[in-house]
Amino acid sequence: MTNSHSLRCSRCGRIAAEQDKFCAECGLFLRDGAIDQRLLLALAYQRDGRSQDARHELERLLSLEPNHVLANHLLGNLHFHEGLLDQAAENYQKAVAAAPSFLLGHYDLGVAYYHRGEMPRAAQAFRLCLEIDPNYNAAHYRLGLALFHSGQLDEAREHFELSLSLTPEYLMAHYHLGIIHERQGEYEAAAREFERSLEESTGDVSSLYHLALVRDAQGDHTAADDLRRRARGFAKSQPVGTK
C-alpha cells in the first residue's frame, strides 16, 4: 500500500517519499523548485520583523505543499503572536500530523490550547512532548500548569517537581508548588517554596501576598503584616501599566 506521505513519479511511475526532490529512478524533478526559497524568504522576513510578508510567503508555500512541517509551524507561530489562536492550533496540528516526533510542534500546540483555556488538550500535547523527550523541563512545567488549572493538584505537583529537578532556578515552578502546598494545608512547605520564588525577585507581589497568608495561618501575624507592607510598597513603585 502506498504511504500517504509519498508520491508517484509521473515519468517512470516510481514511488518517492514526500521530501524527495528528484526521482531516484529517472531524475525527474518532483517538487516546485520555489518551495525552499519561499521558506528561506519567510524566515528572512520574520527575522526582519516583516510578519505580513512572512505570512504571505508561507501561505503561498503551503498552497503548493500543504503538509510542509516547518512552514506550518512557522505560520502557526505568526498566528499565535497575532493572537489568532484557532489558526495557530490548526497549523501546529498539521505540522505534528506530518511529523509525529516534532517535539516543538507538540509543545507549541499545547501552549496554544492552554491559552484557549483547553486544559485537557493542552495536557495531552505536553504529555506527547514528554513521550518524545522525558527530560524536557519546559513541558513538565507546562503540563504542571495545565493540570493545576484542571484541579489535578497532586499530579501537577509531580511535574513541577520534575521541572525543578531539571532546572532548579525555574522560580515560577517554586511559586506554583507553594500554591499547591498552601491549598493542601502544608504551610511550612508552602512558605519554603514562596521564599525560593522570591530569591531573584524580592518584590514579587503574588509570592509576598501568599507568603503573608501562610504566616497568618501559622499564627505569625507580625511577619504577615510586614510581608503585606512589602507587597504594597512594591506595587506602588511600579509604573502604571506594568504587569
Domain of residue 197, CATH code = 1.25.40.10
pLDDT at 242: 38
Compare 61 and 242 and report the one with higher pLDDT.
61
pLDDT at 99: 93
pLDDT, tens digit, for every residue of 151-165? Answer: 999 999 999 999 999
The mean pLDDT value of the chain amounts to 85
In this structure, are 70 and 17 located in the same domain? no
pLDDT band at 243 (very low <50, low <70, confident <90, very high): very low
Select from 100, 120, 143 the last residue of a domain.
100
Select from 78, 100, 122 the last residue of a domain.
100
In this structure, are 8 and 50 located in the same domain? no
In this structure, are 223 and 239 located in the same domain? yes
Q: Which domain holds residue 13?
A: 1-31
pLDDT band at 182 (very low <50, low <70, confident <90, very high): very high
Domain count, the chain: 3
116 found inside a domain: no
**Once rounded to an integer, what is the mean pLDDT over residues 9-31?**
62
pLDDT, tens digit, for every residue of 98-142? Answer: 999 999 999 999 999 999 999 999 999 999 999 999 999 999 999
147 found inside a domain: no
C-alpha cell at 122: 493542552
